[in-house]
Structure 1
Amino acid sequence: MAKLVTALNIAAPDEFYEKLIRAHEGLSDDESAALNARLILVLANQIGDAEILAEALEACRTPAA
């Protein structure tokens, strides 16, 4: 059974974060929210495992301490 990875798993997290922020530049709040929704769906499709996705949803419903 696969398990949600919660430890840092991005080789260059700062570079990814910068790209993510740049992707939102010049967008309205609605356009930014739509970009986030599309990104979530693309990444969910990439993951493809319903159990992992359910774990991720549950983990994100609780704010980080």
Structure 2
Amino acid sequence: MALEHQANISDPDSFYEELISCQRDLSEENALLFQARLLLVMANHIGDRKVLSEAMVLARRGLPQR
């Protein structure tokens, strides 16, 4: 399996709205907890360590260090 770099979500606007809606009534701490749980659920679904490592590098790219 290779990491998909092209848009691959059907109806991305609806997906984004659902993602935001899931966090709307949560405190900042619980929203971060939700995001971490969702990440782990999705990582488990993907399962391929090479793909997950590539995704982490891609997600980290361009973010400033402390």
Higher relative contact order (Cα pairs below 8 Å, separated by 6+ residues):
1
1:3-38 C-alpha deviation (Å, 9 max, x unpaired): 110100001100000000000011100000000000
Identity of aligned residues (%): 41
| Root-mean-square deviation (Å) | 1.2
Aligned equivalent of 1:33: 32
TM-score where L is the length of structure 1: 0.92
TM-score where L is the length of structure 2: 0.90
Aligned length: 63
Higher helix share: 1
**Residue segments in structure 2 that go unaligned for 5+ positions in a row:** none
- Partner of 1:27, secondary structure, is coil
Structure 2 residue 53 is the aligned partner of structure 1 residue 54? yes
Query: Deviation of residue 58 (structure 1)?
Result: 0.5
Structure 2 residue 50 is the aligned partner of structure 1 residue 63? no
Q: After TM superposition, what 4+ stretches of structure 1 lie above 6 angstroms from structure 2? A: none
C-alpha separation between the residues in 2 aligned to 1:4 and 1:11?
A: 17
**Residue segments in structure 1 that go unaligned for 5+ positions in a row:** none
